[in-house]
Amino acid sequence: MKSDGLTAQIQWAFFWYSFLPLAVVTLVSLTLFTVSLKTEAINKISADVKTALLIYRGFEEEMGELAQSYARQPFLPFVLASASPPDLSRQMNIADELASLARVNQLSSVMIIDRNRRVVARSKAIQQEKPFLPDRTYIEEAFSGINRGFTELLTRKELISEMATEYETYEEKLVPPDRRALCMTGIAPIYDSEKAQILGAVILRKFIRNNLELIENISETIDDHAEIFNGEQLILKGEPKGSIMKPVSPLKSHYYSVYFQKQTLFSTHFSQGGFVSSYSPIYDVNGNAVAMLMIQANVLTLVQTHVAIATCLSLLFILLLFLPYLLMRFLNRMVVTPILLLNTSLEQIGNGKYSFFIDFESENEIGKLIRSFNQMTQRLESAHISLNREIEERKRTEDQIQQSRDELERRVIARTADLSEANSLLKTEIDERLKTEHQLKSALSEKETLLKEVHHRVKNNLQIISSLLEMTRSRSADLGISDTLAGACARIHTMSLIHNQLYLSSRYDCVTMQNYIEILATHLSRVYGKNKQIVTHIHAKQVILPLIQAMPCALVFNELISNSYKHAFMPGQTGNITISITVSQDQIVTVYYQDDGIGIPEDINIQKVKSLGMKLIYNLTVKQLKGNLQISRTFGTVISFDFKSELKQNNLSTEK
């Protein structure tokens, strides 16, 4: 089984690295020789195609020159210049003259037309009615002085109108009603006797199917078979002398490529006699492909040469295959057989038989390898005996280790039971702590609710007191008492705003000063700011004060803003009030208040003034807040004071 596998691997190796590369090289070489043969054959016929097309174009140019010579006939200007049509006898003479000229040059027809494209005379027949030719480009060019020769494709109806009724009996089999005739046409202008004016033109036509001279000239010049097709109909064929080649007809695809795609095609026929074909379009005066020129050249000599080269390559391939076969046989005897013996020996060793000996004599590397292998088996046998003894000793050691492991597992189980009991006690303690924490949170939530309710009730009570005072003030006729009660109402409302903000806030121990001052200023503006356009600027963002300090500050702001509205600005006057609160790194709160009104009189001493408002400002800032109070009378009134905040630093800049 393994012998077959190793041999198969060697065979596959020879296949992949010897046979397959040789086969690929041989096939590539044959392909290249075939491509070279095809290229060489196409190059040979390409030159013949160019020559054949030049000959064809030469015949077209000869038609143009022949038309020019016909236009020089002396009687033609008189025929065109005549004011009245010639009589019947004169018409017959002109027709005979033109027919004589046509027979000399083997032309199919000769026509004379005037400047109105009217047929004046023909070479084949006479008609009383003179038809008009359709408007064609080459006729207009002839009237402008250009003579030319070209190929033209005409229908049977057009030919009958140009050549009279004799055509129906003479050429009817050549051009059936459903086909068109391929003509070689020449046209040249006819001048008057003084060469000053173009009177008309002469048109010569010659059926290409009758132009044997053309096809024979092409075939003999290029020494190849040549054919001309009108559509798919063969109309002219020429063969070189001594040719035995049988031509192959074009395919439908050849017609399509030549007539519709205007391409020149090449096809090789090496297995059908050894020749190559070309298919070239023949164009009319408008650039349309109207006919096809087929040329077939014999390349049998080239084919035979390439066949001989291919035969040599095939023989060389067979010879090169025989050498790898001999090499494979040598490797099988000198390499594969010793390796199989080694494999058998290894299987015996794997089964525990260390006394196996390989009998193989050779002086090469494989022989040395087998001798070394025999020595190795002897050493393995000795080592096997020693290893067995060592295994038995290790088994005894493992038994002792297993006993120790069992004892260790017993101790681990006991320790695990102790830890499980401790974990149970710890879980009970954690449950009790969680229960206590839940009770504390419930109590805290209850206290917060009570505190919120207290602030709400204080606010309501203050609003009730304020409303009672306001009712009393409205009934009092004494202005002094009324002003005093209004001030008391404003102060009570100020304290009520504090408790209202605490009630609406998530914190019940501190106040956000920016929001509070804005609400207070808005309220005082509605109370005292009638007929006054005062703008309040507040700069206290992110400043938070504890309730114990926010309340006196609120009362101070109430007094300052009220005094500014009542005393600093006159009715109808505009002004500005600026309030700024900042907190330093060492938690010193600085309050700055300014209005641009008339200012505090110089003779007022805030410590000795009898006004309740000024006393409140002094007592609240100096005594209750333990701050420093300063008053400036420059540019209105400026009052500033500072004090130490009792709130932690991380709560001064951010509202919770």
Q: What is the pLDDT of residue 590?
A: 93
Q: What is the pLDDT of residue 652?
A: 46
What radius of gyration do the chain's Cα atoms show? 64
Burial class (CB in 10 A: 0-12, 13-18, 19+), 437: exposed
Cβ–Cβ < 8 Å for 70, 123: no
Token couple for 596: 């641009």
**CA distances for 316 relative to 23, 310, 320, 596, 628, angstroms:** 11, 10, 6, 119, 120
Q: Compute the average pLDDT of residues 420-442.
A: 83
Question: In sequence order, what are the beta bridge partners of 202?
Answer: 112, 188
**CA distances for 533 relative to 537, 558, 592, 596, 600, angstroms:** 13, 18, 22, 13, 20
Distance between CA 183 and CA 94 in Å, rounded? 24
Judged against a pLDDT cut of 60, whether residue 256 lies above it is answered with: yes
Q: Compute the average pLDDT of residues 430-446.
A: 76
Token couple for 138: 């080459």
Q: Give residue 239's pLDDT band: very low, low, confident or very high (50, 70, 90).
A: confident
104-120 tens-digit pLDDT: 888 888 888 888 888 88
* Closest to 120 (Cα-Cα) out of 137, 95, 96, 141: 95
Work out the percent of the chain whose per-residue pLDDT is above 90: 9
Cβ–Cβ < 8 Å for 485, 467: no
Average pLDDT over the chain reads 77
Listed range (5-9, 35-39, 52-56, 652-656) with the worst mean pLDDT: 652-656
Q: What is the pLDDT of residue 321?
A: 66
DSSP 535-561: EEEEE-TT-EEEHHHHHHHHHHHHHHH
Listed range (83-87, 169-173, 312-316) with the worst mean pLDDT: 169-173
365-403 tens-digit pLDDT: 777 777 777 777 777 777 777 888 888 888 888 888 888
Higher pLDDT: 136 or 608? It is 136
618-645 tens-digit pLDDT: 888 888 888 888 888 777 888 899 998 8
At position 290, the amino acid (one-letter code) is: V
460-518 tens-digit pLDDT: 666 677 676 667 766 666 666 666 666 667 667 676 666 666 555 656 678 888 888 88
Q: Can you state the percent helix, strand and coil of the chain, rounding each to 5?
A: 60, 20, 25
